[in-house]
Structure 1
Amino acid sequence: MAENGNTDKVGDESRGSESTTATTHSTITKQRKKRSRAWDFFEEKVDATGNNKYACRFCGQEYFETKGKSTTQMNNHINKCPNNPYKVEKGQKLLQFQTLPGGNKGGLIPWKFDQEECWMALCSIVIVDELSFSFVEKEGFRNFMKMAQPCFHIPSRTTVTQDCFALFNVEKNKLLKFLKGTSQRVSLTTDTWTSIQKVNYMCITTHWIDSEWIMHKRIINFSPITSHKGEDMARCIIDYLREWGLQKIFTVIVDNASSNDVTVEKLSDKLDDWGTNSMNGHHLHMRCMAHIVNLIVKDGLKESSISIARVRCVVRYIRQSPARLRKFQECCESENIVKKSLCLDVPTRWNSTYLMLSRAIEYERAIKEYSDRDTSLSRYLMFDAISDGKPVGILTRTDWDEVKRIAQFLEIFYNLTLKVSGSLYVTSNAHFIEIGQVVVYLNRLITTEDKLLSEMTLSMWKKFEKYWGEPKKMNKMIFIACVLDPRYKFTTVSFVLKKMFGDDEGTIIEKEVHTYMSSLFNEYVSKSVSKDTGGKVSTSLPSSSFSTMETSTGLGALLDEIRKHKAASGGVDSKTELEKYLGEDPENERPEFDILAWWKVNSPRFPILGMMARDVLAIPISSVASESAFSTGGRILDQFRSSLTPKLVETLVCLQDWLRSLKLGVLKLLCARRRAAGPIARSNLYCPVTKGFDSMLILFEIVCYQLSSKGKKRKRESKKVYVTYLGEDPENERPEFDILAWWKVNSPRFPILGMMARDVLAIPISSVASILLILTKKLPPTMFAKVCLKLGVLKLLCARRRAAGPIARSNLYCVQCSSNIIS
């Protein structure tokens, strides 16, 4: 396929950036004024006659100042000084322990000081840790570097700034090269904010899944805009899409501002002009779920009781002075409560209200103890603390009961917001399920006898119906992403739709989703398949696993007849990928299920559906990824960055995101390969050889009887597993199919059947193995053992390499090692 041919190796290119940046840095930075390293080892002195001398810091050897202030003598002395602890022969490398993640030490690695690499590492520290440029000129840092590495010449703040621009250009060119070369669609999240300096900024973040099925996000723009109008924001987005060579946009995730509707509409028109607007832009506009949940809960809190205001006033009173805080800590100690800080909420942010209430509940006994010790608190609540124009009153036991119920109510939405706000893992597959959970939860609370929660829920339900009450207004990707989760498929979507909207309307919506998904799949088929394979489009992999010579000589005639028989009987070759995927049983629910690992293993079976899944599952359901660029704690630029020029702000923000993504990308790749090497994902690469042999059932029952000490119960359960195996569609025949690799992945699904398969598949049908033993009989026993051990190690490595990639390699047998044994 064209798309797979242009594989997404942005992770590999990015992971190599750390080693290549240092070598390219010297060619792109401004030439620095040369400074001899001799001055790091000598200090200037003046003798009794007034002549300048330079004395070695280690041995005291002195040299007179030359006319041209040459440092040749001093440099020669550095390499010969007997007391120089840093003396290293030219070209010599030192050994040091490798530092592993978590502070652990690894093995010894060679190391050599490199000024350019240290400069770039210092630049990365300033960017990633958000340090000021003047940090490099501070006395403490310079003293530390003088002790750690006297050879390192510390650059000035101006030089570090220039290095940041240089590093930005290097990393941008790498990312630009990838994005312009890929044919994959990407999703965008965008958000705007105003800095302290009253400058309007826009942040654009791209999201995609690479060929290793690893989620990526990159900030591609963080620049000022003229206004928050929809036309201006659309023009800015289009300009940056042109700059980055991005024309295939799948979805755009924005908040609920009315100007964003105009922005997405203008962007959709431009994508139509480019001819890249998928499904005519019907699913281009995706609303941020986190913002919708925020609006729903805020409406509910408007109906909250006076109890929240009383808790807020108590927390504010205690936090107003250090003396009150000390007295409160004494109360915590007397009640044996772990000392933590009280949280004061921001009334416009409901999540801060939840955190304030949950922390206050932990300190309930301490707050009661404090109110007994400090009588001024009661007077403050009775007369000075005002809410809605009247005093709030004393905090009572009834208030504590209401606060606990409200906190428990808000906890559901707080955890939901955290879950949907992730940008480094798949969230789109759970979007529809989470909406269904909100519906069930609100319906249950509306009919509750708790008047407080019932009133809050009624207010929230009105806002819910505005965004999610009419399914025709909901983005179809909300449903399709759930269908592409092999645990759910249409079975779950149909059930939740009927639960939310009733049986009749739910059935209608299900048909609309199925039609839309089929149209989207056909759009991918039309772009990926150049020739139609008959009246019914089949997107299966080529089924021929034998060479042309075998077919021409008649050795493959039986296999051709088998393929025709399967097609005539409605087998796998007569189905589309979508029909085959939906026709298989859903995966079992389990905590460790990894949807990306499942699709990585099964994408060879569903190549075009896998392409669609990569685009759909990469959709974030929240624009938090763009919001977090403004600050890790809030959506504002800090004072340090707000005082910088817009170009420098964009450089620092983008570089910080890219450098952190590089390290995270490497760790995610290692984790993905570690998962793939284990029992991944219950793929469904079934072996076509064993399907349909009823006589195997007898052998299977014998194995179950021998393994089971409980007898008939285990026997009935295992028979169901065997029938499940035979009831699934056979695998496609393809040259790279590996039956052992398939059974390694699927043995957790069929544990007893897998044990039987290990015995059956180990049966050789030739005595060649004994002949090889005769040929190697003259070898010494130790050499023969080494050869066998070497072959076993290589076969194990090959097996793990296959498991780490798409399981589609040759058999667990090394031809090269086999020929070595024969020779």
Structure 2
Amino acid sequence: MESVGGSGSQPPSQNVEHDMGAEAVEKDTSQQPLPPSVPKKRKEVETRSPVWDHFEKIKNKDNIVVSAVCIYCKKSYKSESKRHGTSTLRNHIMTCLKNPHSKDTRQSLLTFSPAPSSGLTESEGAAGVLGTWVFDQELIRRALCEMIIVDELPFRFVEGQGFRKFILVCCPMFKIPSRWTVSRDILKIYSDERVNLKNFFKTSCQRVSITTDTWTSVQRINYMCITAHFIDHEWKLQKKIISFVPISSHKGEYIAKALESCLLEWGLKSIFSVTVDNASSNDTAIGFLKKKMLSRGSTAVRCKYLHMRCIAHILNLVVQDGLKESDDSVKKVRDSVRYMRSSPARLQKFRELADLIGVEAKNSLVLDVPTRWNSTYLMLHTALLYQKVFEVYEDYDPSFKSDLGGNVPNFLDWEVVEGLVKFLKSFYEMTVRISGSLYVTSNTFFSEVSDLSCILTGLVGAESDSVKAMGMNMRTKFDKYWGDPNKMNFLIFYGNIMDPRDKIEYMPYQFNQLYGDENGKSLFEKVMKDLKELYVDYVTSFPVQSDPVPVEQSVPPTVLSDPVSVGRPQSLLKSQLKKQRLESGELGRKKTELEVYLS
């Protein structure tokens, strides 16, 4: 046992020596200087908070951020990463008065807003007006939708790379919506505008005029469009499309039902007139609509003026009949223009030849639509400017005459075209005047009809047989619609009377020129009688607005102390005249507003 214990353990003296040696080593180690400790370098992490886009970092000598300075108002905040957070900086961004990107900023930015000057649109001649601007996501989004509506842009326009880059430069805070969001926003704008227009028709609008037309698309689908014309609070003419729907047929009963459904949907009861073209189906539709309006309480006097035939359409029919006499010359010019426009090489050669000859016209050749005479006028007017070029082009291109089968316009054809252009110019300008949609044109209709009658009378009495035949055809079509005044809507005459430049001064002479002395006189008396009837109908409906205006009572002449006064003889004469009128009872009768206006 002892041998085993002695062999398995060390003597005590040896253990003591070992412990003392260890202590000596530890003492020697503690007495030696330790090497300096090197701190481990921490990897710099880039700041990820968006608040640093609005602050400038201030660092100490050890490159540690100790404070932040606002780049707008230069206010400083402590911002050590281990002792301070970014909440204070974020709160300052939202309340900084000089931060232009804050939605809730209390101080707006000054800006120059475009204000259109009188008679000009915003795109031309706009003058700067000092205003304020505040970033508003919803307002900019609505303006974007309105731009897409007005400019007829596709919805995917907002997803284009160029538009996104443009917004990033102009307004980085604006979040661009997707095309699906834009489509929903546009539908919401439509619903809001529809409700506003309905309220306006119900509360603020008295009379509305309707224009409607139907057509067939290339898919053989019949469509009908209804436009409302009215005067707004600022006395400006407005037009709004209130219906665009497919219809089963172009028959009058289907047109009438679609028109009635539209008026019921919008709550329109006070319809002033319905302007349609001269199709017989429209006569049936207007007759049906008259019965419906009478059943709703509208007066028979006003319903008498419901049907208005489109004057521009009648003028188009009149000129179309006149062009039938010159179809050969017009066809030759049309074929020549089509030949030039069918090949870019020919058109380039044609332009080079025009420069060589010295033609100063800069207009491009245009091809007409045969069913639209105004486009035919523009084609002939432009081709006439290049008459010399067409005559010389045959020598430079032998295939010109052969491809057209020898039907190249000659000297006589150009003479006919020149006379036709002069003839059509007055009709073209007349069409432009009566087709205006941004201003009232009804006051000029009767004057234009009278002028057209004078022009046709001159054509019928012309010496040239072709011009005379042309005038006869046009006169026949003119008499079909305007030859019988009983078939005309008398609103044409009333609009001319309400024009303060004309009133009834020239109307009797115009009637005599149109329908002869005897018929003209009776027609003028009938127009005045019906006008007074319509006025009485309005007085009954609006008695407060149409009180009779009393004529000024006779004032006794002022007795002046100076017997040689210049005004005394005039006062005496006026007093004598008023005394005679008072004795005859002329001054005792009160005049209506209509009589005062016409006098």
Which TM-score bucket, shorter chain as reference?
0.7 to 0.9
Task: Compute the displacement of 1:372 (Å).
Answer: 3.0
Query: Aligned residue for 2:548?
Result: 539
1:691-718 residue CA offsets vs partner (Å, 9 max, x unmatched): xxxxxxxxxxxxxxxxxxxxxxxxxxxx
The amino acid across from 2:383 in the alignment is A
1:538, 1:573 within 8 Å by CA — same for their partners in 2? Answer: no
Query: Aligned residue for 1:306?
Result: 328
2:205, 2:230 within 8 Å by CA — same for their partners in 1? Answer: no
Is 2:154 the counterpart of 1:140? no
User: What secondary structure sits across from 1:222 in the alignment?
Assistant: strand
Is 2:371 the counterpart of 1:355? no
Query: Aligned residue for 1:436?
Result: 450
Query: Aligned residue for 1:493?
Result: 507
Query: Aligned residue for 2:280?
Result: 258
1:329, 1:339 within 8 Å by CA — same for their partners in 2? Answer: no
Q: 253, 259, 270: which is aligned to 1:231?
A: 253
User: What secondary structure sits across from 2:494 in the alignment?
Assistant: helix
Query: Aligned residue for 1:365?
Result: 388
2:93, 2:99 within 8 Å by CA — same for their partners in 1? Answer: no
Is 2:433 the counterpart of 1:419? yes
The amino acid across from 1:95 in the alignment is L
Query: Aligned residue for 2:470?
Result: 456
Is 2:591 the counterpart of 1:579? no
Query: Aligned residue for 2:202?
Result: 180
Question: Greater shift after overlay, 237-246 or 268-277?
Answer: 237-246
1:143-177 residue CA offsets vs partner (Å, 9 max, x unmatched): 11111111000001111111111111222222211
1:769-804 residue CA offsets vs partner (Å, 9 max, x unmatched): xxxxxxxxxxxxxxxxxxxxxxxxxxxxxxxxxxxx
Query: Aligned residue for 1:318?
Result: 340
Give me the whole-angstrom Cα distance separating, in 1, the residues matched to 2:345 and 2:387.
20
Task: Compute the displacement of 1:316 (Å).
Answer: 0.9
1:209-267 residue CA offsets vs partner (Å, 9 max, x unmatched): 34654322222222333332222221222222122221111211001111111111111
The amino acid across from 1:539 in the alignment is P
- 1:41-440 alignment to 2 at 5 Å? 76=90, 79=93, 90-100=105-115, 101=122, 102=124, 104=126, 106-182=128-204, 184-210=206-232, 212-279=234-301, 281-334=303-356, 335-381=358-404, 383=405, 392=407, 394-440=408-454
User: What secondary structure sits across from 1:490 in the alignment?
Assistant: coil
Give me the whole-angstrom Cα distance separating, in 1, the residues matched to 2:204 and 2:48.
63
Unpaired runs of 5+ residues, structure 2, are 1-42, 58-84, 116-121, 554-577
Give me the whole-angstrom Cα distance separating, in 1, the residues matched to 2:325 and 2:186.
51
Residue 73 to residue 344, structure 1, CA distance change in 2 (3 Å): farther
User: What secondary structure sits across from 2:130 in the alignment?
Assistant: strand
The amino acid across from 1:482 in the alignment is N
Give me the whole-angstrom Cα distance separating, in 2, the residues matched to 1:211 and 1:151.
38
The amino acid across from 1:571 in the alignment is L
The amino acid across from 1:189 in the alignment is T
Task: Compute the displacement of 1:125 (Å).
Answer: 0.3
Give me the whole-angstrom Cα distance separating, in 2, the residues matched to 1:489 and 1:237.
34
Give me the whole-angstrom Cα distance separating, in 2, the residues matched to 1:567 and 1:238.
56
Task: Compute the displacement of 1:452 (Å).
Answer: 1.6
Give me the whole-angstrom Cα distance separating, in 1, the residues matched to 2:275 and 2:517.
31
User: What secondary structure sits across from 1:348 in the alignment?
Assistant: coil
Residue 87 to residue 406, structure 1, CA distance change in 2 (3 Å): closer
Give me the whole-angstrom Cα distance separating, in 2, the residues matched to 1:494 and 1:244.
41
> Which one has the largest radius of gyration?
2
Residue 72 to residue 313, structure 1, CA distance change in 2 (3 Å): farther
1:468, 1:474 within 8 Å by CA — same for their partners in 2? Answer: yes
Residue 133 to residue 261, structure 1, CA distance change in 2 (3 Å): same
The amino acid across from 2:537 in the alignment is E
Structure with the greater relative contact order (CA < 8 A, sep ≥ 6): 1 or 2?
1
The amino acid across from 1:578 in the alignment is L
The amino acid across from 2:134 in the alignment is K
The amino acid across from 1:575 in the alignment is K
Give me the whole-angstrom Cα distance separating, in 2, the residues matched to 1:235 and 1:419.
33
User: What secondary structure sits across from 1:253 in the alignment?
Assistant: strand
2:361, 2:385 within 8 Å by CA — same for their partners in 1? Answer: no
Task: Compute the displacement of 1:77 (Å).
Answer: 9.6
Give me the whole-angstrom Cα distance separating, in 2, the residues matched to 1:153 and 1:72.
24
Query: Aligned residue for 1:727?
Result: none
The amino acid across from 1:489 in the alignment is K
Give me the whole-angstrom Cα distance separating, in 2, the residues matched to 1:53 and 1:208.
58
Question: Greater shift after overlay, 435-444 or 195-204?
Answer: 195-204
Task: Compute the displacement of 1:50 (Å).
Answer: 13
Give me the whole-angstrom Cα distance separating, in 2, the residues matched to 1:214 and 1:570.
39
2:231, 2:237 within 8 Å by CA — same for their partners in 1? Answer: yes
The amino acid across from 1:362 in the alignment is L
Give me the whole-angstrom Cα distance separating, in 2, the residues matched to 1:196 and 1:143.
39
- 1:500-511 alignment to 2 at 5 Å? 500-511=514-525
- Superposed CA RMSD in Å reads 3.5
2:337, 2:367 within 8 Å by CA — same for their partners in 1? Answer: yes
Give me the whole-angstrom Cα distance separating, in 1, the residues matched to 2:325 and 2:216.
31
Question: Greater shift after overlay, 318-327 or 372-381?
Answer: 372-381
Task: Compute the displacement of 1:52 (Å).
Answer: 12
Give me the whole-angstrom Cα distance separating, in 2, the residues matched to 1:375 and 1:77.
83
Task: Compute the displacement of 1:280 (Å).
Answer: 5.8
Seq. identity, % = 42
1:445, 1:457 within 8 Å by CA — same for their partners in 2? Answer: yes
Give me the whole-angstrom Cα distance separating, in 2, the residues matched to 1:183 and 1:363.
53
Give me the whole-angstrom Cα distance separating, in 2, the residues matched to 1:543 and 1:114.
59
Residue 292 to residue 229, structure 1, CA distance change in 2 (3 Å): same
2:459, 2:468 within 8 Å by CA — same for their partners in 1? Answer: yes
Task: Compute the displacement of 1:142 (Å).
Answer: 0.7
Task: Compute the displacement of 1:574 (Å).
Answer: 2.1
Query: Aligned residue for 1:679?
Result: none
TM-score of the superposition, structure 2-length normalised?
0.76
2:253, 2:285 within 8 Å by CA — same for their partners in 1? Answer: yes
Task: Compute the displacement of 1:456 (Å).
Answer: 1.4
User: What secondary structure sits across from 2:332 in the alignment?
Assistant: helix
Task: Compute the displacement of 1:275 (Å).
Answer: 1.0
Residue 75 to residue 254, structure 1, CA distance change in 2 (3 Å): farther
Is 2:496 the counterpart of 1:472? no
Give me the whole-angstrom Cα distance separating, in 2, the residues matched to 1:206 and 1:481.
19
Query: Aligned residue for 1:40?
Result: none
User: What secondary structure sits across from 1:97 in the alignment?
Assistant: strand
The amino acid across from 1:493 in the alignment is M
1:425-456 residue CA offsets vs partner (Å, 9 max, x unmatched): 22112111111111111111112112221111
1:330-361 residue CA offsets vs partner (Å, 9 max, x unmatched): 12222142432101111121111111000011
Give me the whole-angstrom Cα distance separating, in 2, the residues matched to 1:129 and 1:278.
44
TM-score of the superposition, structure 1-length normalised?
0.56
Residue 310 to residue 243, structure 1, CA distance change in 2 (3 Å): same
User: What secondary structure sits across from 2:505 in the alignment?
Assistant: helix
Task: Compute the displacement of 1:75 (Å).
Answer: 8.8
